[in-house]
Structure 1
Amino acid sequence: MKEKLIWGILIFVAIYMLVPWILTRMLSVGVIRRGGKGQLALTFDDGPDPKYTPKLLDLLKENGIRATFFVLGSKAEQHPELIRRMHEEGHLIGIHNYTHFSNWVMTPWRVKRRHVDRSAAIVEGITGVRPIYYRPPWGIINLFDYGLRKDYKIVIWSLMPHDWNNSVGTELLKRRLLDEVQDGSVVLLHDSGETLGADDDAPTYMLEALTDVIGQYKALGYSFVRVDGLTPAPSAARRMLVKLWMGWERAFIRLFHVKPVDPDNTFLQIRLREYTDSTPITLEDGEVFAKGDQILELHLNNDTLLELGRTSRNSTHLAIQMIKRMRALLPQITHLIEHDPDYRNVKGLYGITLINRGPQQLGFTVLDLPKGPFTLITKLYLKLLMYVVHPKGKERLKTKAELLVPKIIAISVKELENRYASVSLPYSSSCTPETAPLTL
């Protein structure tokens, strides 16, 4: 009986404490922990402090930086003028409990009512704006704290330089802030040294280090954002989906002998095959692809496409980057067809894509897919691809969904030669003229 009780307690502790810790700190499930490319969010816990917070606000103001403060409700009550100044200077104010007490040793209703809601009401009374961002002390939540997500957004961090310990000192703190920073880092710092485990004068070293690294962050191209300005980072589930998808893509390339047009620029890839549809397609220049004709099937390198998706500002920018790369490689495909004996019988290029407006300006004919199961499967496949590689995949699938219809894009060899045969190609020393493509 005693053994069962012990096991029951251990299981309860694991579910109540350890599982949420793994989900939030390791997998980022249900929390904000990182932003997008080029972004950097400075966050400050445990204040406001009458000695250090004004100096920090001065530093941020001098550098035109807006940051995020996770304040203790009890200190906000004591120093409303600092809360008011944070708000007036454009900083985001979040909640860090009423006092610095761990959620692991409190009941869920005590956490919400006595700490989070109470602190939010205090800040709202000072600024007129109710905080919706919450960081639990030490980043620790219990299982039931996930219920807070109905009213609050939970924020953790991705860079923690241990600035609460004055033995770290200014120089080591600077090195950690610079060596460990990444795109989208949410940096955990402290503008008070009064909490358990912290040193009273630790914020002095934080201010000294931050004064020096701000300029270096700017030189590295980082833009400072509040937590509410972070581009959402992909979830653990989405990262796993991307990993699985890319594994499948690499297997497909090997299995079906898909080759890059240019080994140094693998964005566009080709597969030599016969046109198998019993219904011929007629292109705008009068050429016809009939069953049995040899065609080059176009494929995009989804590793490259994923990187373009990460770095593109929006859908239009992504489409522009794709069209530019296609335009650069089409002369090279034309050169291959004209000079490589393996492609002497090719009638043209053929592909299926959701991005089917831009290719028209490159000479492609855009055609509807015939109705049937293949079209339905293709649509689902390409929408999944859009979700994986697009910078805002889920949102893009909901925006103008009626335009996300797969289309055939095709261009004849005759049209390729008319448009691209005269384009000169620089010689690539890594290839022989007889057997390999030239590099643009």
Structure 2
Amino acid sequence: MEIILWIGFYFLTFYAFLPALISRIFGFRVFMKGQAKKEVALTFDDGPDPVYTPKLLDLLKREGAKATFFVVGENAERYPEIVARIHEEGHIIGIHNYVHHTNWFMRPRTVKRQIHRTSDIIKKITGIRPMYYRPPWGMVNVFDYANLGYLQIVLWTSLFGDWRKRLGAEKLYKRMKGKLKPGQVFLLHDCGSTFGADRDAPANTISALERILDDGRKMGYRFIGIDEMIEITERAKNKGVDTHMAARRPQVNSDESIVENNPSIGFMKKLLVSVWMAYEKVFHLLFRLHPVGDGKFFNYRIRRYSGPPMDLRANATLHSGDYIMEIHFENQMLFELGMNSKSTLQIGIKIIREMERTLPDMARELAKATNGDKVKALYGVSMIHRGAESLGYGTYDLPRGFFSWTTNIYLRILIRVIHPSGNKRVRERGETMSPRMLIMPREILMTWADESREKRRPDRERTVKADIPKQKASEVEEASEDFEEGSIGKLV
């Protein structure tokens, strides 16, 4: 049963939930907010609709506004004359799958086929292939990043629930007015025929939008397509005026400690982070994780090891069936590190300091845990390599298989997201960035139980040097420096 739960957890996490969360929180490989002074991007999903899309086009033409329409392929195929009009009147056409199904429940090949089919339909009508894609409900899966590299994935800054008729035009207008600011990407709907939508809800959307366009004109705003918003944003970034990213950069004291700026995040990001943290709590309950110390950084569980035999330090061998203390990082901590750190140096220093600070708590926790007396080793999986040895760990390659593959994907996505030059780092050093098992024999872990920090460091350094007599002391120090300058990881 536990194996089934693990497989289900990893599938949902790595294939669907995690990519969507990363995209929404960090904007990874997606566009969702512009950097503009007077421009707002209007986007419409689910059409074209034979009743409401023409009325919407009439309104946009009358007000001199441009927009982006993410069309459902089967609707475009059914109403090609409306798609042609959208194109002829200077609006942008994007893809919203051939049918309105979420990517979470489709195979990568199916998603790709739906997108290609819709692209062919649009090209046949307009003569131009679309460059933009919005997955239904904004839900991407992990393969969308690679399979859709030729398309720009577009999400949104604000959505308003306009697919529900009962919301009413007045309440919808007030919601839209509250978000009417430069750089916004509004998500609206010109069709109410999809699952969960009300057929005549777009009537409220058109009514509220008419007032918003009037308000925007009085405020000096322009309503533009997503192509122009992306172009404006890229120009702003190239000029170095990305104030949002500047606000996220932490200060570093002379002792290299991180001073957090407490960057602000929007409501949607807070909501998604809350959902992810709740999901993590469910995981904790399912696998009975317990906090280490104050619980801010690490959790653990006692379980039986199920891998190949591993020769450990202190002349010990770990066999399948032996008890281990499995350590997990807190996702809240990883999120805060990602939001408040600008380099792997800062993240690496923070991780090694917290690990060093928490190891005595781990040793004391092991002494009182159920089956703790049977535990043979402390165990985790991370991208931390040589530097972990200075704490008493041994590092070992992960056996090839499903767990190794999914963990590798997760950690590569993680470093792309939380490191400022993560994409470049993965491209240039990807072959050296592989997750490894970190295993510390019980005997070494228990030496941390009662020692002060000042006493621990010389002792563990002597232990490390004794375990690798052929390596010079300077090389050991070099290995530790290499960790602090170049590694990042997550114990899973």
The residue that corresponds to 2:48 in the other structure is 48
Q: What secondary structure does 1:181 align onto?
A: coil
Letter of the 1:247 counterpart: Q
- Using the TM superposition, give the Cα deviation of residue 239 of structure 1 relative to its aligned residue in structure 2, in angstroms: 7.0
Distance 1:241 1:216, change over 3 A: closer
Report the TM-score when normalising by structure 2: 0.48
The residue that corresponds to 2:101 in the other structure is 101
The residue that corresponds to 2:246 in the other structure is 242
Letter of the 1:152 counterpart: L
Q: What secondary structure does 1:126 align onto?
A: helix
Q: What secondary structure does 2:30 align onto?
A: coil
- Using the TM superposition, give the Cα deviation of residue 110 of structure 1 relative to its aligned residue in structure 2, in angstroms: 0.6
What number of residue pairs does the alignment pair up?
249
- Using the TM superposition, give the Cα deviation of residue 224 of structure 1 relative to its aligned residue in structure 2, in angstroms: 1.3
- Using the TM superposition, give the Cα deviation of residue 248 of structure 1 relative to its aligned residue in structure 2, in angstroms: 5.4
The residue that corresponds to 2:57 in the other structure is 57
- Using the TM superposition, give the Cα deviation of residue 28 of structure 1 relative to its aligned residue in structure 2, in angstroms: 1.0
For 1:244 and 1:92, the matched residues in 2 are separated by 32
- Using the TM superposition, give the Cα deviation of residue 4 of structure 1 relative to its aligned residue in structure 2, in angstroms: 2.0
After TM superposition, the structure 1 = structure 2 runs for residues 121-270 of structure 1, keeping only pairs within 5 Å, are 121-230=120-229, 231-232=232-233, 242-243=246-247, 247=251
Conserved? CA contact 1:159–1:181, under 8 Å: no
After TM superposition, the structure 1 = structure 2 runs for residues 69-84 of structure 1, keeping only pairs within 5 Å, are 69-84=69-84
Letter of the 2:171 counterpart: L
The residue that corresponds to 2:11 in the other structure is 12
For 2:224 and 2:143, the matched residues in 1 are separated by 30
For 2:30 and 2:94, the matched residues in 1 are separated by 14
- Using the TM superposition, give the Cα deviation of residue 182 of structure 1 relative to its aligned residue in structure 2, in angstroms: 2.7
Of 84-93 and 10-19, deviating more is: 10-19
Distance 1:72 1:245, change over 3 A: closer
For 1:183 and 1:248, the matched residues in 2 are separated by 32
Letter of the 1:232 counterpart: T
Per-residue deviation, residues 398-435 of structure 1 (Å, max 9, x unmatched): xxxxxxxxxxxxxxxxxxxxxxxxxxxxxxxxxxxxxx
The residue that corresponds to 1:117 in the other structure is 116
Distance 1:183 1:13, change over 3 A: same
Conserved? CA contact 1:39–1:183, under 8 Å: yes
Letter of the 1:192 counterpart: C
User: CA-atom RMSD, angstroms?
Assistant: 2.5
Per-residue deviation, residues 94-137 of structure 1 (Å, max 9, x unmatched): 00000101110000111011x11110010000000000100001
- Using the TM superposition, give the Cα deviation of residue 26 of structure 1 relative to its aligned residue in structure 2, in angstroms: 1.7
Letter of the 2:81 counterpart: E
- Using the TM superposition, give the Cα deviation of residue 25 of structure 1 relative to its aligned residue in structure 2, in angstroms: 1.4
Larger radius of gyration: 1
Per-residue deviation, residues 380-399 of structure 1 (Å, max 9, x unmatched): xxxxxxxx9xxxxxxxxxxx
Report the TM-score when normalising by structure 1: 0.54
The residue that corresponds to 2:31 in the other structure is 32
Q: What secondary structure does 2:166 align onto?
A: coil
Letter of the 2:246 counterpart: V
For 2:52 and 2:132, the matched residues in 1 are separated by 22
For 2:142 and 2:27, the matched residues in 1 are separated by 14
The residue that corresponds to 1:309 in the other structure is none
Q: What secondary structure does 1:82 align onto?
A: helix
Per-residue deviation, residues 149-192 of structure 1 (Å, max 9, x unmatched): 32211000001011000111011100010102332111000000
Percent sequence identity is 43
For 1:249 and 1:92, the matched residues in 2 are separated by 48
Q: What secondary structure does 2:217 align onto?
A: helix
- Using the TM superposition, give the Cα deviation of residue 13 of structure 1 relative to its aligned residue in structure 2, in angstroms: 0.8
Per-residue deviation, residues 271-330 of structure 1 (Å, max 9, x unmatched): xxxxxxxxxxxxxxxxxxxxxxxxxxxxxxxxxxxxxxxxxxxxxxxxxxxxxxxxxxxx
After TM superposition, the structure 1 = structure 2 runs for residues 282-293 of structure 1, keeping only pairs within 5 Å, are none
Per-residue deviation, residues 229-286 of structure 1 (Å, max 9, x unmatched): 1123769xx87862465735999xxxxxxxxxxxxxxxxxxxxxxxxxxxxxxxxxxx
Q: What secondary structure does 2:188 align onto?
A: strand
| Structure 2, unpaired ranges of 5+ | 256-419, 421-492
Per-residue deviation, residues 200-230 of structure 1 (Å, max 9, x unmatched): 1100100110111111012222211110111
Q: What secondary structure does 1:25 align onto?
A: helix
The residue that corresponds to 1:418 in the other structure is none
For 1:91 and 1:68, the matched residues in 2 are separated by 6
For 2:158 and 2:49, the matched residues in 1 are separated by 22
The residue that corresponds to 1:85 in the other structure is 85
- Using the TM superposition, give the Cα deviation of residue 67 of structure 1 relative to its aligned residue in structure 2, in angstroms: 0.6
Letter of the 2:233 counterpart: P
For 2:44 and 2:132, the matched residues in 1 are separated by 13
Conserved? CA contact 1:76–1:123, under 8 Å: yes
Of 6-15 and 153-162, deviating more is: 6-15
- Using the TM superposition, give the Cα deviation of residue 66 of structure 1 relative to its aligned residue in structure 2, in angstroms: 1.1
Letter of the 2:187 counterpart: L
Letter of the 1:51 counterpart: V
Letter of the 1:125 counterpart: K
After TM superposition, the structure 1 = structure 2 runs for residues 277-316 of structure 1, keeping only pairs within 5 Å, are none
Q: What secondary structure does 1:70 align onto?
A: strand
Q: What secondary structure does 1:57 align onto?
A: helix
Conserved? CA contact 1:20–1:142, under 8 Å: yes
Per-residue deviation, residues 354-396 of structure 1 (Å, max 9, x unmatched): xxxxxxxxxxxxxxxxxxxxxxxxxxxxxxxxxx9xxxxxxxx
The residue that corresponds to 2:358 in the other structure is none
Q: What secondary structure does 2:246 align onto?
A: helix
| Structure 1, unpaired ranges of 5+ | 252-387, 389-440
